Amino acid sequence: MTASTDGDADCAARVELIAVPGVPVVEPGDDLAAVIAAAAAAVDLTLRAGDVVVVPSKVVARAEGRFVDLATVDPGPRAAELAALTGKDPRLVELVLRESTAVSRAGRGALIVQHRLGFVTADAGIDQSNAAPPAAVAARGVGPWALLLPADPDASAARLRAGLEAAAGVAPAIVISDSFGRPFRVGTVGCAVGVAGLPPLRDHRGRSDLFGRPLERTVTALADQLAAAADLVAGQAGEGRAAVVVRGVRIHEGVEAGAAALYRQPAEDLYL
Amino acid sequence: MTASTDGDADCAARVELIAVPGVPVVEPGDDLAAVIAAAAAAVDLTLRAGDVVVVPSKVVARAEGRFVDLATVDPGPRAAELAALTGKDPRLVELVLRESTAVSRAGRGALIVQHRLGFVTADAGIDQSNAAPPAAVAARGVGPWALLLPADPDASAARLRAGLEAAAGVAPAIVISDSFGRPFRVGTVGCAVGVAGLPPLRDHRGRSDLFGRPLERTVTALADQLAAAADLVAGQAGEGRAAVVVRGVRIHEGVEAGAAALYRQPAEDLYL
pLDDT digits (tens, 9 = 90+) for B217-254: 578 999 999 999 999 997 644 445 679 999 999 877 66
Distances (CA, A) of A168 to A44, A50, A235, A250: 12, 13, 24, 20
Q: Give residue A197's pLDDT.
A: 95
B240 vs A207: which has the higher pLDDT: A207
Q: Give residue B2's pLDDT.
A: 37
Contacting residues for A126 by C-beta, under 8 A, at least 6 apart: A92, A95, A96, A99, A146, A147, A148, A149
Cβ under 8 Å to B: A residues 157-176: none
Q: Give residue A155's pLDDT.
A: 98
Can you say how many angstroms the Cα of residue A182 is from the centroid of all Cα atoms in its chain?
14
Q: Using CA of residue A206, residue A258, residue A58, residue B214, what is the dihedral sign?
A: negative
Given an 8 Å threshold on Cβ–Cβ distance, is B263 in contact with A186?
yes
Q: Does A241 touch chain B (CB under 8 A)?
A: yes
CA dihedral B10, A225, B113, B257 (to 10 degrees): -20
Let me know: does B257 contact B81? Beta carbons within 8 Å. no
pTM for the predicted model, two decimal places: 0.92
Report chain B residues whose CB lies below 8 A from the CB of A219.
Answer: 186-188
Please determine, for residue A264, whether its predicted confidence score (pLDDT) is greater than 60. Answer: yes
Distances (CA, A) of A244 to A33, A149, A226: 13, 19, 10
Q: Which domains does chain A carry?
A: 14-65+149-263 (3.30.1330.100), 67-148 (3.90.1660.10)
Residue type, B190: G
Report chain A residues whose CB lies below 8 A from the CB of B13.
Answer: 18-19, 21, 233, 241
Which pLDDT band, with edges at 50, 70 and 90, does A237 fall under?
very low
Exposed / middle / buried, residue B220 (Cβ in 10 Å: 0-12, 13-18, 19+): buried
Q: Give residue A42's pLDDT.
A: 84
Q: Give residue B213's pLDDT.
A: 56
Mean pLDDT on A188-211: 83
Please determine, for residue A211, whether its predicted confidence score (pLDDT) is greater than 70. Answer: no
Q: What is the mean pLDDT of chain A?
A: 87
Q: Give residue A212's pLDDT.
A: 58
Q: Give residue A4's pLDDT.
A: 34
Q: Using CA of residue A252, residue A212, residue A218, residue A185, what is the dihedral sign?
A: negative
Please determine, for residue A203, whether its predicted confidence score (pLDDT) is greater than 90. Answer: no
Contacting residues for A21 by C-beta, under 8 A, at least 6 apart: A39, A43, A240, A241, B6, B7, B13
Look at residue A57 and give its three-state secondary structure: helix
Distances (CA, A) of B114 to A37, A211, B103: 46, 29, 6
Exposed / middle / buried, residue B9 (Cβ in 10 Å: 0-12, 13-18, 19+): exposed
pLDDT digits 0-9 by tens, A85-128: 999 999 999 999 999 999 999 999 999 999 999 999 999 999 88
**What are the residues facing A263 on neighbouring strands?**
B185
HSE value, Cβ hemisphere, 13 Å, CA-based, for B128: 17
Number of H helices, E strands in chain A: 7, 12
Dist CA A130 CA A145 (whole Å): 10
- Tally the residues of chain B: 272
Q: Give residue B236's pLDDT.
A: 46
Cβ-nearest to B186 among A23, A131, A261: A261
Please determine, for residue A154, whether its predicted confidence score (pLDDT) is greater than 90. Answer: yes
| Weakly modelled stretches of chain B, pLDDT under 50 | 1-11, 236-239
Dist CA B84 CA B94 (whole Å): 12
Contacting residues for A212 by C-beta, under 8 A, at least 6 apart: none
